[in-house]
């Protein structure tokens, strides 16, 4: 036989990552994101708000500090997406105070 080689076709094996479709408190369309990233961010938000009320800036500063180096994507984008979802699901709420704060429900 001449220099022909039998090659098996390369198969692209992709693990399908489980996703979650987030909700929005104003009924706008949510985002389809990684369930693992959702759960990681949800846990961080709940832990950060446990027994305290925080402004948006305080919440995001603490999330960025606690997740830096542990979260591979844009912390602020995922935090906002998951925060809105938790509001829509009535897990957290905004206070009527000025400045407005967030707390667990």
In the structure, what pLDDT confidence band is assigned to residue 37 with cuts at 50, 70 and 90?
A: very high
- Give the number of C-alpha atoms closer than 13 A to the C-alpha of residue 60, restricted to the C-beta side: 13
Q: Give the separation between CA 21 and CA 12, rounded to whole angstroms.
A: 26
Averaged pLDDT of the chain:
90
Are 8 and 14 a contacting pair, CB within 8 Å? no
Q: Give the separation between CA 86 and CA 83, rounded to whole angstroms.
A: 5
Are 80 and 37 a contacting pair, CB within 8 Å? no
Domain parsing of the chain, residue ranges:
19-104
Report pLDDT for 72: 86
User: For tokens 């305290």, what's the residue?
Assistant: 52
Q: Which CATH class, in words, describes the domain spanning 19-104?
A: mainly alpha
């Amino acid at each position: 036989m001449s220099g022909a080689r039998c090659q098996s076709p390369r198969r692209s094996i992709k693990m399908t990552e489980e996703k979650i479709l987030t909700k929005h408190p104003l009924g706008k369309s949510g985002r389809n994101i990684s369930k693992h990233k959702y759960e990681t961010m949800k846990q961080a938000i709940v832990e950060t708000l446990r027994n305290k009320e925080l402004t948006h800036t305080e919440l995001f500063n603490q999330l960025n500090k606690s997740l830096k180096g542990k979260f591979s994507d844009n912390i602020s984008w995922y935090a906002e997406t998951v925060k809105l979802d938790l509001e829509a699901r009535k897990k957290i709420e905004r206070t009527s105070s000025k400045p407005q704060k967030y707390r667990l429900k």
